[in-house]
């Protein structure tokens, strides 16, 4: 559950980790089984694609589903984050990014701190993204693409793009991206369902559209130190939660399923 020394070193060097086989097929099925109900809801937490009715991202999931309430407290997500940051963390954002077969749209080149700072007034780029792949992610269905080492350059200049997709995003301009790729290359975060990803707040990343017949669904939890909380509240709660209660890892093993059977209290 804890990261070993070479994983920590790789994270510091590259800015991300791809960790296979962290969640079982049964656990992934449990998380996926919630999605038809959650995606069918017409509410502001569900952002739909610009060109279709398909859900692009569904937020606030730990407040909408007991399964996701357990997921945000899963020690496999929380403990590595606490290990890397060394302090109490709150749940900043909880979502599933779905890239529907044939229509899932791009995520432009960006790093999350541009939004966290620009929109929410987060002081420092400390937040971590913790993902679980819920489908097989391959080169055809729009994998996340990382620029290794781009976090070490410090935050790149970013501008707010409200046009390209249905989700406003602070994006990095092409010239900067080209330089970063020249230095660091590209890695696509592919893997079978149950693979976990961790990446930092200044790592430049994006993903292309899904032209394949295979959906690409990814669970994403953002944890941020309580000491580094938002200072501005202009975005709705589901985009940056106000509840700064430190997230407490669930007891028991394996976590998602054990908690289900035992009826463990699930609120973060
Ligand atoms: C993200 O920026 O974390 C989302 C990108 C994606 O889902 O491809
Ligand atoms: Mn991002």
- The answer to the question of residue 186 being in a domain is yes
- For residue 13, pLDDT beyond 70: yes
User: Which of 188, 220, 221, 222 most suits a substitution to test ligand 1, by most atoms within 8 Å of the C-beta?
Assistant: 220
Range of the domain at 35: 5-228
- For residue 256, pLDDT beyond 80: no
Tally of structural domains, the chain: 1
Residue 144 CA, closest ligand 1 atom number: 8
- The answer to the question of residue 238 being in a domain is no
pLDDT > 90: percent of the chain: 91
- The answer to the question of residue 44 being in a domain is yes
Distance between CA atoms of 237 and 63, rounded to whole angstroms? 11
Residue 265's pLDDT is 45
| Three-state DSSP string of 34-94 | CHHHHHHCCCCCEEECCCCCCEEEEECHHHCCHHHHHHCCCHHHHHHHHHHHCCCEEEEEE
Task: Report the CATH number that the domain containing residue 128 is assigned in CATH.
Answer: 2.60.120.620
Cα of 200 from ligand 2 centre, angstroms: 10
Bigger pLDDT: 257 or 53?
53
- For residue 155, pLDDT beyond 90: no
Q: Give 102-127 pLDDT, tens digit per residue.
A: 999 999 999 999 999 999 999 999 99
- The answer to the question of residue 19 being in a domain is yes
Q: Per residue in 150-182, is it b (16+ CB within 10 Å) or e — as a string?
A: bbebeebebeeeeeebebbbbbbeeebbeebbe
- The answer to the question of residue 106 being in a domain is yes
User: Which H or E run contains 96?
Assistant: strand 89-99
Residue 257's pLDDT is 66
Bigger pLDDT: 221 or 255?
221
Distance between CA atoms of 106 and 40, rounded to whole angstroms? 22
- The answer to the question of residue 209 being in a domain is yes
- The answer to the question of residue 122 being in a domain is yes
Whether ligand 1 lies within 6 angstroms of the CB of 141 is answered as no
- The answer to the question of residue 253 being in a domain is no
């Amino acid at each position: 559950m804890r990261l070993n020394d070479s994983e920590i070193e790789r994270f510091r060097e590259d800015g991300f980790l791809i960790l296979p086989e962290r969640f079982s097929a049964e656990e992934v099925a449990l998380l996926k089984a919630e999605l038809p109900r959650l995606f069918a809801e017409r509410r502001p937490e569900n952002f739909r694609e610009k060109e279709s009715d398909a859900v692009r991202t569904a937020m606030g999931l730990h407040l909408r589903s007991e399964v996701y309430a357990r997921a945000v407290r899963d020690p496999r997500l929380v403990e590595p984050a606490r290990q890397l940051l060394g302090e109490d963390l709150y749940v900043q954002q909880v979502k599933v990014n779905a890239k529907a077969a044939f229509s899932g749209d791009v995520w432009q080149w960006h790093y999350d701190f541009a939004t966290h700072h620009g929109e929410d007034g987060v002081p420092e780029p400390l937040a971590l993204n913790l993902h679980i792949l819920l489908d097989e992610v391959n080169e055809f269905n729009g994998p996340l693409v990382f620029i290794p080492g781009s976090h070490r350059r410090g935050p790149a200049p970013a501008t707010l793009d409200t046009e390209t997709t249905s989700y406003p995003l602070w994006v990095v301009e092409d010239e900067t991206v080209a330089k970063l790729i020249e230095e660091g290359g590209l890695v696509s975060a592919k893997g079978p369902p149950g693979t976990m990803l961790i990446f930092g707040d200044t790592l430049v990343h994006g993903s292309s559209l899904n032209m394949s017949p295979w959906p690409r669904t990814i669970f994403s939890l953002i944890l941020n130190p309580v000491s580094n909380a938002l200072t501005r509240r202009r975005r709705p709660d589901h985009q940056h939660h106000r509840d700064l209660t430190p997230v407490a890892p669930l007891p028991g093993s394996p976590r998602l399923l054990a908690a289900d059977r035992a009826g463990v209290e699930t609120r973060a």
